[in-house]
Amino acid sequence: MLDHYLTHSAAGDETAAHSIYLDDAVLEFPQSGERFEGVAAFLPWRSRYPARVEYQVRRLRGAADVWIAELLFRYDGGPWQQALDILEFRGDKVAAESIYVFEGWDAPDWRARWWAAPPQRPGAEPPTTGD
């Protein structure tokens, strides 16, 4: 379902992309305090978004009615940023979505011997630091 949204959104077909939502779905951006109640409140501005947005799904996990997607995204070919997308379902459609956006940081050298890079999604090209 997330792939459906991302594929149609990337193609500029926001109406098809938004078919994953219930009509009364709620979209929240907790960091900015924005809350949009109903697809009619967020489809219009998403359809007119002033930048080209690219996404990569790094990881998707969840069960039953709650799923969490770790995303990489960028605007107009700019630097990659990170986001966490929490999707709550009612039946087979999204009833609520909360999106958190944040900047990454370089791992400190002193921990380098203990860490491993997270696995990449098959077919996805990982962004480079500072890209």
Asked whether residue 32 is domain-assigned, the answer is yes
Kindly report the number of other CB atoms within 10 A of residue 71's CB atom. Answer: 21
Asked whether residue 123 is domain-assigned, the answer is no
Handedness of CA 66, 5, 24, 97 (dihedral sign): positive
Tens-digit pLDDT string for the chain (131 aa): 667 666 766 666 777 778 889 999 999 999 999 999 999 999 899 888 888 888 899 999 999 999 999 999 999 999 999 999 999 999 999 999 999 999 888 889 999 899 887 766 544 554 544 44
Asked whether residue 124 is domain-assigned, the answer is no
Asked whether residue 10 is domain-assigned, the answer is yes
Asked whether residue 11 is domain-assigned, the answer is yes
Asked whether residue 81 is domain-assigned, the answer is yes
Q: For the chain, give the number of residues.
A: 131
pLDDT at res. 115: 86
Instruction: Identify the CATH number of the domain in which residue 30 sits.
Output: 3.10.450.50
Domain with 71, as residue range(s), is 2-103
Asked whether residue 116 is domain-assigned, the answer is no
Using DSSP, state whether 59 is helix, strand or coil: strand
Kindly report the number of other CB atoms within 10 A of residue 111's CB atom. Answer: 8
pLDDT at res. 8: 61
> Phi, psi (5° rounding) for residue 73?
-150, 160
Query: Residue 104 and residue 80: Cα distance in Å, rounded?
Result: 9
Query: Residue 126 and residue 43: Cα distance in Å, rounded?
Result: 29
Asked whether residue 122 is domain-assigned, the answer is no
Query: Residue 85 and residue 69: Cα distance in Å, rounded?
Result: 5
Q: Count the domains in the chain.
A: 1
